[in-house]
A and B are shown apart, each in its own frame.
Chain A
Amino acid sequence: MLVFLATSLVAYVLYLILTMFTGSVGLWSTGELIAGAVLSLIAGAIAYRVAFEKERKGEKNSLRVLNPLRFILFLGYLVGPFFIAMARANIDVAYRVITGKIRPGIVKISPNLKTDLGITLLANSITLTPGTLSVDVDEENGDLYVHWINVKNPEPSPEEVCGSFPYWARRIAE
């Protein structure tokens, strides 16, 4: 029941963001508010079984991810360290496109993240940042196999490949 309500609430908030600036009740029109409530209840009824699936053993569901502090951290991460790393990545790739200097290889890193959300966040961050692309994941212990365009060390530590990202993924998702 709690999960159903949480799913509906998230759907409703998303609907409200999408229909912002349409009317006079606050920023919304009365019709949109009612239609949004009905539609988000339907969406919640359909989707609550797959939303917020448990991530660790002994856990009923993972409503932890709804903590607003995590959202603020996530936004801070996006505009701060992530954006800088991404800009560097693009200049790096541009340099390699022009000069053609590459030394590719697939390396393995063990970031020791426990939840699916954390690993997803880290894998996506890795793909978008300097010279690295995640290829495969070992689902039992969370090891990532990363294609690295300029291999400096065949057996690197997570910090060598992706800087401070494991630390941020741990703070946001666990």
Chain B
Amino acid sequence: MNILIYVLFGIGLTFNGLGSFALLRFPDVYTRLHGATKCTTFGSIFTTAAVIAYGFARGGGAYHTLAIHAIIALIALLLTNPTGAHAIARAAYRSGVKPKYAVVDKLEEKK
């Protein structure tokens, strides 16, 4: 069981690390958001899964409650993370940040 928890943590931390690396690597706000939202959500799913596994493996009332709360936190994370990214992207576009190196921009043509 311990090994499973370590593996889950390992995968989670790898993807979270890649997400922060993407922030440095990509050229503009939209491409950076790709890295920042996808990788951190996916990484956090695995770290939360490790907490859930720990809670159920350890057993007992308080640890079961911990696991259940982690599940609810996971659902909240899945709902709010993309919504936040969407809000940032929309705000960036409305305040005039154009996507760099873009080959096509339909939103520009609309206005």
| Chain A residues with a Cβ under 8 A of chain B | 17-22, 78, 86-87, 89-90, 93-94, 97, 100, 102-108, 123-125, 127-129, 131, 133-136, 138, 145, 147, 149, 151, 154
Contacts and interface: CB of A to CB of B under 8 A. Distances in A.
A97 B25 contact: yes
Ranked nearest first, the 5 interchain pairs of A and B with the lowest CB-CB distance are: A127-B82, A105-B104, A108-B106, A124-B82, A21-B64
B34 A149 contact: yes
A151 B72 CA distance: 36
A90 B99 contact: no
A104 B90 contact: no
Contacts, number: 131
Given A90-B42, A127-B85, A145-B107, A104 B100 contact: yes
A140 to B, nearest CB: 12
B104 A154 contact: yes
Nearest to B105: A106
B103 A17 contact: no
Nearest to A83: B45
Interface residues of B, number: 46
Q: Helix, strand, loop or mixed for chain B's interface?
A: helix
A133 B85 contact: yes
18 contacts: A17-B68, A20-B68, A22-B65, A90-B38, A90-B39, A97-B18, A97-B22, A97-B26, A100-B25, A107-B106, A125-B82, A127-B37, A128-B37, A128-B78, A131-B34, A133-B30, A134-B86, A135-B90
Contacts of B28: 104
B107 A105 contact: no
Contact of B93 (A108, A129, A136): A136
Interface string B57-86: 000011011001100100000110111011
A97 B21 contact: yes
Given A104-B99, A107-B106, A133-B89, A149 B31 contact: yes
Given A90-B39, A102-B31, A151 B86 contact: no
B15 interface: yes
Given A22-B65, A89-B42, A138-B110, 10 more contacts: A17-B72, A21-B68, A86-B41, A103-B101, A105-B99, A106-B108, A124-B82, A125-B82, A133-B85, A135-B30
B35 A154 contact: no
A97 B89 CA distance: 19
B8 interface: no
B33 interface: yes
A133 B68 contact: no
